[in-house]
Structure formats: C-alpha cells, structure tokens
Structure 1
Amino acid sequence: MGRLKIMADNKELVAKLQELYPQGKITCSEARDIAAKLNIALGDMGELCDLAGIKICACELGCF
C-alpha cells in the first residue's frame, strides 16, 4: 500500500478499526492478519491502532 497511501487513508482506516473493535481491544493475531491484508508494516498497524485508541492484547511475538 505504501506509506503515503496509508497516511492519506488513515482517517478511514482508523474509523473502520473503531467500528470493528468498539471495545477498544484487538488481538495480536487479528492485527497481524489485518496488516497482511492491507499490505502494511506491523509498525504502521500499531500506529493505526494507537490513533484509533485500540489496545493490542494477547501479543504473541512482541511485534507491537
């Protein structure tokens, strides 16, 4: 997807994450799956979750 595209789309991505995870939590596995589907780095996924106010829980690999 590329960093510039992520930056341009982050409002929509943040809103979608908030819609999908209204409880404010996402598992590490779910976050990694979403990052893979969007073709973004795990660090970028972590930043998106931070922007959305979503905590990554049940971390398996220490990626976030």
Structure 2
Amino acid sequence: MKKLSITAAILPTLASAHVGDHSHVGPDHLLTQPDHLGVIGVVVVVALGAWLWIRSRS
C-alpha cells in the first residue's frame, strides 16, 4: 500500500508534461504530441501491470 501512495504522489508531477493552458485544444493535440503520448503510455503500462499483478494473486 505504501508503494501505491508513493506512485499516486508522483503521478501529478509526471502529468505536467509542459506548461500551458489546454482548455482550447482538442483530443487531436493530446494524441499527437510526444510528451502527452509518453504520459498516456506510462499510465497504460502501470494500469496493465497492476491488473496483471492483481489477477495473478487471485
């Protein structure tokens, strides 16, 4: 549980890929910029790893 807390504390830092207001951009910006794709990829890998780990324990 401690590792999950540390991960949750680090994720907001990773999510701030670059400064700027994203209120005027559409999904195409979020899905085409490398910094956003990197964060999305990390979230997917962590979620998949957590799902596989939980599934293997039961």
Normalised by the size of structure 1, how large is the TM-score? 0.30
The structure number with the bigger radius of gyration is 2
Q: 1 or 2, which has the higher strand percentage?
A: 1
Normalised by the size of structure 2, how large is the TM-score? 0.33
Q: 1 or 2, which has the higher helix percentage?
A: 2
